[in-house]
Amino acid sequence: MIADLKPYADYKESGLPWLGQVPKHWDTRRLRHLCEMRVSNVDKHSKRGETPVRLCNYVEVYKNERIRESTRFMAATASEDERVRFGLRKGDVLITKDSEQWNDIGVPALVECEAPDLVCGYHLAILRARRGLHGAFLHRALESHFIAAQFHVEANGVTRYGLSHGAIQGVAIALPSTDEQAAIVRFLDWANGRLERAIRAKRKVIALLNEQKQAIIHCAVTRGLDPSVPLKPSGIPWLGDIPQHWEVTALRRYWRVTDCKHLTVPFVDEGIPLASVVEVQPFSLNLSRCKRTKPEWYRLLIEGDRKPRRGDLIYCRNASVGACALVETDIDFAMGQDVCLIRSLSQNQRFLNYLLHSPFMDHQLELLLVGSTFKRINISEIKALTVIVPPRHEQDEICKSLDADMVAYDTAISRLNREISLLCEYRTRVVADVVTGKLDVREAAARLPDEAPLDSLEDATDLGDETEAADEEAAA
């Protein structure tokens, strides 16, 4: 159905260079004429005498396209004046008003619940549609990359970017009649549901492939490659038996752990790379999007034999505790915040990396972090982690086998992620074309069947032919 959409019969110039032509019967209006705007200053800090509320924060808007009763909210308090001015109503549109990243500005979310205790939090602006504009249509219009470009142009700042009141109110959208707005919303909700089902199905396949990878890694690093080898009790309740000639010991026996320098350094566009939490998420260290610092600060950060080199492991001890990456580059870089360096001259570092990525280690970290308010571990706890150590030649054989086994899984996962990326790009293009009048969806919307909301479908893998149809239609 999406592939069959046609342009409108007649167009006119919109008067806006970025928009070009719009359907002849459409208008172009700025948000100041279409919405009431309020910028919230309510924060999470409770004050005596105020009323308990649920606070809709920046994170809820950034992560959710729609704000529903099921969305997680922070408990806070607000004065009566704040509850009146910044209380949320069904049909309101929230946008992110400021952020550390310029392209995180203007991200919209539609409020779909009616809750008298729900209040808009800090760093957000409320857009409340006036007569002649549907909130749901405004939400879809603000999702368009044409609108996002207007926000990005207007964002100002140095270390944190923000939008002024005038910048938000000056944003222009193409405006059809209210009936046509409703048809557009109906069509885009349907199209988005179809595409989202396909995306969810692919993500479920990725999750299953990752589970299979974990099972293969766990078996290899805890039992080895020879199923006939004699076993012995490991002494670890959740592990069971291990090969008789393997050793169970503390990580510090064979590996040296060195903490990062706890320095706050300046960032520059051109400088020495810093490996922090984000860079250690994959199996191999990825510095492609890392922050950088000045050479003089780099020299401070590598003092005390802290200069990483090929074969070292960079381990995360805060936030994403347990994430670990192998250094496979010879370029100079330093450790940033919240990571440490693990090095051994006698053991296979790749084997330890596989072990640190195994369910055996995940379970150990879960037990270590039980009851912790903040998910972090210190250097002494990392040194005390229990590891399984085969002879070096077996470590090499296990790594060679796992490297070969992982190729097919990583290739399949990479392909699925690429397909998800293409579906997301296609969805973005459809939204932009429809809300700017490049495609006419009135007849298509009138023929649409009533479908169950996406959230009511608990298992996207049970969609069968529907998912396949959505894939084929998205590719058309």
Can you give the residue range of the structural domain that contains 402?
1-26+176-242+394-476
Same domain, 143 and 261: no
Average pLDDT, the chain: 89
For 242-291, what is each residue's pLDDT tens digit? 999 999 999 999 999 999 998 889 999 899 999 999 999 899 999 998 99
Question: What distance in Å separates the CA atoms of residue 233 and residue 221, rounded to the nearest whole number?
Answer: 15
Of the ranges 182-186, 384-388, 455-459, which one carries the lowest mean pLDDT score?
Answer: 455-459
Choice between 343 and 16, residue whose per-residue pLDDT is larger: 343
Size (the chain), residues: 476
Task: Report the first-to-last Cα separation within the chain, whole angstroms.
Answer: 9
Does one domain contain both 53 and 137? yes
Residue that terminates a domain, selected from 175, 201, 218: 175
| Mean pLDDT of the region 82-111 | 88
321 and 207 in a common domain:
no
Q: What's the rounded mean pLDDT across residues 193-217?
A: 96
Structure tokens at 35: 């919405």
Q: Tell me phi and psi for residue 437, to 5 degrees.
A: 80, 15
Contact between 45 and 36 (Cβ < 8 Å): no
The pLDDT value recorded for residue 146 is 82
Record the tokens describing residue 15, joined without a space: 């008067």
Same domain, 42 and 171: yes
Residues 268, 271, 276, 281, Cα dihedral to 10° = 110
Joined together, the tokens standing for residue 124 give: 């957000």
Tokens 């026996």 correspond to: 253
pLDDT score recorded for residue 177 = 95
Give me the half-sphere count of Cα atoms (radius 13 Å) on the Cβ side of residue 383: 9
For the chain, percent of residues with pLDDT exceeding 70: 93
Q: Are residues 213 and 145 in the same domain?
A: no
Tell me the CATH number at 157. 3.90.220.20
Quickly state the pLDDT bin for 461 (edges 50, 70, 90).
very low
- pLDDT band of residue 225 (cuts 50, 70, 90) is very high
Q: CA-based Rg of the chain, rounded to a whole angstrom? A: 27
Which of 175, 207, 225 delimits the end of a domain?
Answer: 175
Helix and strand element counts for the chain (H, E):
14, 26
Question: What is the pLDDT averaged over residues 109-135?
Answer: 92
119, pLDDT greater than 50: yes
What pLDDT digit, counting tens, does each position of 13-67 carry? 998 888 889 999 999 999 999 999 998 888 777 677 788 899 998 888 988 899 9
Same domain, 321 and 365: yes
The tokens for 158 are 């140095």
- Within this chain, do residues 73 and 151 fall inside the same structural domain, yes or no? yes
414 φψ region: left (φ > 0), alpha (ψ -120 to 50), beta (else): alpha
Same domain flag for 51 and 113:
yes
Q: Distance (Å, rounded) from C-alpha 311 to C-alpha 342?
A: 9
Could you tell me the pLDDT band of residue 137, with boundaries at 50, 70 and 90?
Answer: very high
For residues 31 and 168, state if they share a domain.
yes
pLDDT of 307 strictly over 90: yes
Output the furthest CA–CA distance in the chain (Å, rounded): 81
* Domain edge (last residue) among 339, 355, 389: 389
What does each C-alpha distance from 148 to 84, 102, 143, 354 come to in angstroms?
29, 11, 7, 41
pLDDT of residue 451: 62
Of residues 146 and 351, the one with the higher pLDDT is 351
Which band of pLDDT confidence, cut at 50, 70 and 90, is reported for residue 98?
confident
Is the Cα torsion angle 109, 115, 116, 118 positive or negative in sign?
A: negative
Structural domains in the chain (count): 3
| Residue 253 sits in the same domain as residue 285 | yes
